[in-house]
Amino acid sequence: MSRAIDIPAADGTIDAHIFTPGNAKGPLPGVVLFTDIGGLRHCYHEKAQQIADNGYAVLMPNVYYRDASGPVVPEGKSFRDPDVRPTLFEYAGHLTPEAQSHDFAALLGCLDSEAEFAEGKVGVVGYCMTGAFVLRMAAEYPDRVAAAAGFHSARLAESDDSHSPVRVVGTIEGRVYFGHADQDELLPPEQIARMDEALARAGVHFVTELYKGAAHGFTAKDAPSYDAAADALHHKRLAMLLEETL
């Protein structure tokens, strides 16, 4: 059960989708789902619906709305194809922390105005590059974000990145969960340790779990790194986090 929606934002109009359970009755706790670098596509619609079926209203925005509406990866192509990746990296480069902040405000405005979403606190979940987004959103809106989850997150705590999300976690009040791939070249052990240290120092209630044998992108069904067992575990952990917080 989903519908498309256009959300006014400071930098344009965000095309997005709202997912609800088939038996939805009245407003439900809200969850914002940020896709991985591949953007909107079938496997993420499926993922959003699976989360919604547990009793939530899920808002999935097109993170690349500044450059294109709808799916960015052409039909029949993969986000990992060498002729597709340069476009994705170009679009992703526009998603600065300032741009993300503009989008967070617009998305929360949507949750506050659309009938599917209940009042109160929300959950956010991100994948790959958007693992950083959920931390920033939780840090910017500590009174709204009750749960922030990231799976096979990328580059969360690079020591030479002045805009790294590791620098802003001190204001987070909600719970944080990370499901990391132990074979992930985009988040080596030293970055995991640096993020864990920052969260612990800030007194954030967090859990970091290493998915043994999993590679980056383990939840994406259209990626060669997809791991069915790790994907199932991710859904289980996310369901538990949302149930306990929302």
Nearest residue to 166 via CA among 181, 150, 155? 155
Please give the pLDDT value at position 77.
Answer: 81
Please give the pLDDT value at position 72.
Answer: 94
- Token couple for 184: 């992930």
Domain boundaries, the chain: 2-245
Q: Model-level pTM?
A: 0.97
Question: Domain 2-245 falls in which CATH fold?
Answer: Rossmann fold (3.40.50)
Predicted confidence (pLDDT) per residue in 21-40, tens digit: 988 777 999 999 999 999 99
Q: 208 by DSSP, 3-state: which?
A: strand
Are 116 and 124 a contacting pair, CB within 8 Å? no
Please give the pLDDT value at position 149.
Answer: 98
Residues of the chain with pLDDT under 70: none
CA distances from 67 to 63, 89, 129, 241 (A): 9, 12, 17, 33
Please give the pLDDT value at position 82.
Answer: 87
Please give the pLDDT value at position 63.
Answer: 98
Q: Write the burial class of residue 145 (CB in 10 Å: 0-12 exposed, 13-18 middle, 19+ buried).
A: buried
Helix pair angle (131-140, 97-113), 10° resolution: 70
Residue-wise burial string across 169-196, b where 16 or more C-beta atoms lie within 10 A, e elsewhere: beebbbbbbbbbbebbebbeeebbebbb
d(CA 189, CA 193): 6
Instruction: Provide the strand spans (E) within the chain.
Output: 2-9, 12-19, 30-34, 57-61, 122-127, 145-151, 175-181, 206-211
Q: 177 by DSSP, 3-state: which?
A: strand
Are 152 and 218 a contacting pair, CB within 8 Å? yes
Residue-wise burial string across 198-209, b where 16 or more C-beta atoms lie within 10 A, e elsewhere: bbeeeebebebe
Q: Which residues contact 39 (CB under 8 A, 6 or more apart)?
A: 62, 63, 64, 71, 72, 73, 79, 88, 91
Q: Write the burial class of residue 104 (CB in 10 Å: 0-12 exposed, 13-18 middle, 19+ buried).
A: buried
Please give the pLDDT value at position 185.
Answer: 93
Quick one: DSSP state of residue 117?
B
Predicted confidence (pLDDT) per residue in 158-192, tens digit: 999 999 999 999 999 999 999 999 989 999 999 99
